[in-house]
A and B are shown apart, each in its own frame.
Chain A
Amino acid sequence: MYSSTVMDHFKNPRNVGEIEKADGIGEVGNPLCGDMMTIYLKIEEEKIKDIKFKTFGCGAAIAVSSMLTEMAKGKTLDDAKKITNKSVAEALEGLPKNKLHCSNLGADALHMAIQDYEDKKAGIVRPKPKREDKLEQIHVHKEGEKCYCPYCNIEVTEQTAVCVGCGATLKPA
């Protein structure tokens, strides 16, 4: 199911943990949809001196977190901002189609952590985003420009309300 690189990062995850007095923290996802990730940054001279993660999620989500931390470590903030979900998935030699939504978390969490650092530095206080407590919207997962039904994996559009393949409700009425 998973590439050997994914399995390696899942079995031996790099940079697990928290950083005390982190310079930036990014938290994405919610446990309701399956995955949650927190990224902690230690920043020196606008470079990522240290990075750690904590993840609740499947094998792919843990591997994504681990790979992301390896990719970001030592990078300047400008370079780290260029890391995308796609590049993390590619570095892992691909992810199963229905797991691609897990990989969306990695780069998002990193970018949020950088934002958090930059906000703190600039003295901006943003209200903490409220975590959604209900999963009303079912994720139609995306790969490139295409969307797929989470139940039967046939191609649908983002606007599809009912999957033509299996009849699943994709958008609440």
Chain B
Amino acid sequence: MKMINLDYISANPLLPEVQEAMIEAIRNNYGNPSSPHQLGDLAAEALEKARSSVACLLNCLNSKEIVFTSGGTEAINQAIKGVALANAKKGMHIITSNIEHNAVLRTLRRLRMMDYKVSSVEVDQSGRVDPADVAKAITDQTILVTIMHSNNEIGTIQPIEEIAQITREKKIPLHCDGVTSVGVVPMDVQKLGVDLLSFSANQFYGPSGVGALYIKHGTVLWPLLDGGVQENNKRAGTENLIGIIGLGVAADLAVRDLEIRTRQTLKLKKKLIQGLTEKVEDIFINGHPELSLPNLVSVSIKYIEGEGIVLMLDEEKILVSTRSACAAGALQASHVLLAIGREFADAQGTLVITFGQETSEADIDRFLDVLKTVVQTLREMSPLYKKGNK
């Protein structure tokens, strides 16, 4: 039986070109870019080439605006803590939304322990932030606004350009968590108007454990890591060159293939949503119907719990992700699903289905067939099912 991966959001498969470039680097380009000899020069050249590729993907003015990190989480921590620490004398107020990823929420929670104040803007039922709410939340103490580009649980895309207009007028830096968007939908930092943008390679067929932070020239922030002079003094430590090379190639391929990928995934998304609606009763499709990621479908299935669905699908070699409290480790329903108005119990039965280049229409058909059976099995076990039907 063929394995069907519908959990691209956890990690993408590495494209062959990415694999080859990394293997080649492991063999022949293991040097330290800081070394003044030829092995160092070779490494430095590869490092800057990758930086240019990433800068091109995001349409940066200068490739120096890209700082490589160990992934999206580090980039987010760097952006938020870096700005907060550097601007503490100016003010200690930060604005965010109530559906951010834990990398943002927990970073802010940590800052709260250091007396920073955080305002959280609520989203509507489709998961969208109203830019007017951001404007209202701004005080003379506000030093940072951090809003994600697209949501990792429901896929909704935020009006970042409009929010950026507000923050630019007030001269407040805007950080955007772009982890689920970069390499998936067109991301142009100049058009978006953001000052900081975090992302990771494994959302667009690059390796895990590598990412980057776009820092618009002139943005004031402290480095999270102090030490050597790497990354223009913005991130100390010898670079993860192998990973960065993989990221660079993934960025080149994203520039080349983004449109084709989007067309393909949108077709699958449409098919998937239609199939879910037809085959499974009592479900909700979460997120904005249009302004959302092309490669993600979030579905809440009533009366049952998500981890059970994931485990049963896994038995059939179908891999998906869930946002149920139990599976997420923290025994609470997803804050994102609650924020868009889902009931606790319904939030528990939520699957996040993500797909990409290797997903076929036949994969979607098989998933739908198996899911139908799994849902029925679990519903027959559920004390809520009968009650819900009464």
Given contacts A16-B381, A54-B381, A60-B326, contact A101 B331 (CB under 8 A): yes
Chain A 1-36, CB within 8 Å of chain B: the 1/0 string? 000000100110100100000000001000111111
B315: Cβ under 8 A from any A Cβ: yes
Nearest-CB residue, chain A, relative to B345? A31
Given contacts A13-B381, A32-B345, A135-B344, contact A98 B308 (CB under 8 A): no
B112: Cβ under 8 A from any A Cβ: yes
User: Are A58 and B381 in contact, with the CB atoms below 8 A?
Assistant: no
User: Are B308 and A10 in contact, with the CB atoms below 8 A?
Assistant: yes
Which A residues are CB-close (under 8 A) to B324? 34, 58
Contact with A59, one of B109, B308, B348 (Cβ below 8 angstroms): B308
Chain A 39-74, CB within 8 Å of chain B: the 1/0 string? 000000000000000111111111000000000000
Contact with B383, one of A33, A54, A141 (Cβ below 8 angstroms): A54
Nearest-CB residue, chain A, relative to B109? A167
User: Are A37 and B383 in contact, with the CB atoms below 8 A?
Assistant: yes
Which A residues are CB-close (under 8 A) to B384? 31, 36, 56
> Which residues of chain B from 275 to 306 have a CB within 8 Å of any chain A CB?
303-305
User: Are A31 and B348 in contact, with the CB atoms below 8 A?
Assistant: yes
A99: Cβ under 8 A from any B Cβ: yes
**What is the bound-complex CA distance between A170 and B311, given in angstroms?**
29
User: Are B325 and A34 in contact, with the CB atoms below 8 A?
Assistant: yes
Chain B 71-113, CB within 8 Å of chain A: the 1/0 string? 0000000000000000000000000000000000010011011
> Which residues of chain B from 353 to 390 have a CB within 8 Å of any chain A CB?
380-384
**What is the bound-complex CA distance between A153 and B311, given in angstroms?**
23
B111 to A: closest C-beta gap in Å: 10
Chain A residues touching B, range: 35 or more
Which B residues are CB-close (under 8 A) to A32? 333, 344-345
Q: Which of A31, A37, A60, A99 has the most CB of B within 10 A?
A: A31
Nearest-CB residue, chain B, relative to A60? B326
**What is the bound-complex CA distance between A4 and B255, given in angstroms?**
45
Instruction: Tell me the interface secondary structure of chain A in the complex.
Output: mixed
Given contacts A57-B308, A59-B311, A141-B331, contact A102 B381 (CB under 8 A): no
B273: Cβ under 8 A from any A Cβ: no
Nearest-CB residue, chain B, relative to A150? B331
Which B residues are CB-close (under 8 A) to A11? 312, 315
> Which residues of chain A from 87 to 112 have a CB within 8 Å of any chain B CB?
98-99, 101-102
Given contacts A31-B348, A32-B344, A166-B109, contact A55 B327 (CB under 8 A): no
User: Are A58 and B383 in contact, with the CB atoms below 8 A?
Assistant: no
**What is the bound-complex CA distance between A139 and B304, given in angstroms?**
21
User: Are B382 and A56 in contact, with the CB atoms below 8 A?
Assistant: yes
Q: Which of B113, B305, B329 has the most CB of A within 10 A?
A: B305
Contact with B305, one of A13, A27, A58, A141 (Cβ below 8 angstroms): A58
B317 to A: closest C-beta gap in Å: 14
Chain A 100-132, CB within 8 Å of chain B: the 1/0 string? 011000000000000000000000000000000
Nearest-CB residue, chain A, relative to B112? A167
B330: Cβ under 8 A from any A Cβ: yes
User: Are A98 and B315 in contact, with the CB atoms below 8 A?
Assistant: no
Which B residues are CB-close (under 8 A) to A59? 307-308, 311
B139: Cβ under 8 A from any A Cβ: no
B306 to A: closest C-beta gap in Å: 8
Chain B 317-343, CB within 8 Å of chain A: the 1/0 string? 000000011110111110000000000
A165 to B: closest C-beta gap in Å: 11
**What is the bound-complex CA distance between A151 and B331, given in angstroms?**
8
A38: Cβ under 8 A from any B Cβ: yes
User: Are A55 and B331 in contact, with the CB atoms below 8 A?
Assistant: no
Q: Which of B110, B303, B311 has the most CB of A within 10 A?
A: B311
Which A residues are CB-close (under 8 A) to B308? 10, 57-59, 62
Which B residues are CB-close (under 8 A) to A98? 329, 331
User: Are A58 and B326 in contact, with the CB atoms below 8 A?
Assistant: yes
User: Are B326 and A138 in contact, with the CB atoms below 8 A?
Assistant: no
A154: Cβ under 8 A from any B Cβ: no
**What is the bound-complex CA distance between A101 and B345, given in angstroms?**
17
Residue ranges of B at the interface with A (Cβ–Cβ < 8 Å): 106, 109-110, 112-113, 303-305, 307-308, 311-312, 315, 324-327, 329-333, 344-345, 348, 380-384
Q: List 30 A-B contacts (CB under 8 A).
A: A11-B312, A16-B381, A31-B344, A31-B348, A31-B384, A32-B333, A32-B345, A34-B333, A34-B348, A37-B383, A54-B382, A56-B345, A56-B348, A56-B383, A56-B384, A57-B305, A57-B326, A58-B324, A59-B307, A59-B311, A98-B329, A98-B331, A99-B326, A135-B344, A139-B331, A141-B331, A150-B330, A151-B329, A167-B112, A168-B109
The 7 closest A-B pairs by CB, nearest first: A31-B345, A58-B326, A58-B307, A54-B383, A32-B344, A38-B383, A167-B109
Extra pairs beyond A36-B383, A99-B326 (4, CB < 8 Å): A13-B381, A16-B381, A37-B383, A138-B331
